Amino acid sequence: MIADEWQNRGLGTALFSDLIAEAKKQGLSRMFAYFDVENRSIIRVGQKVGFKPSPKEGRTDYSMTRAEIAF
């Protein structure tokens, strides 16, 4: 979570990018994330780094959506 006063500075993108790089280095082939459907900002950040809605589950309930990224 990025504090409101630090948002829109690229920190979320940088954190996701570092996490993805480390996952690749560790030999993982994919990652999953759950996003609050009302938080359009984090969904955009997720899409920017390559997350896509999960075709198998998609929405898990009325407030969360599942996304995945394959390396």
What is the predicted pLDDT for the residue at 45?
A: 94
SS3 state of residue 55: coil
Question: In angstroms, what CA-CA distances link 68 with 5, 9, 24, 44, 54?
Answer: 28, 24, 14, 14, 6
Cα separation, 50 vs 34, in Å, equals: 14
* 5-63 residue pLDDT tens: 999 999 999 999 999 999 999 999 999 999 998 899 999 999 999 999 876 555 556 68
Whole-number pLDDT of residue 64: 85
Question: Domain extents for the chain?
Answer: 29-71
pLDDT of residue 55: 65
- Predicted local confidence at residue 58, as pLDDT: 52
pTM for the predicted model, two decimal places: 0.78
pLDDT at 1: 80
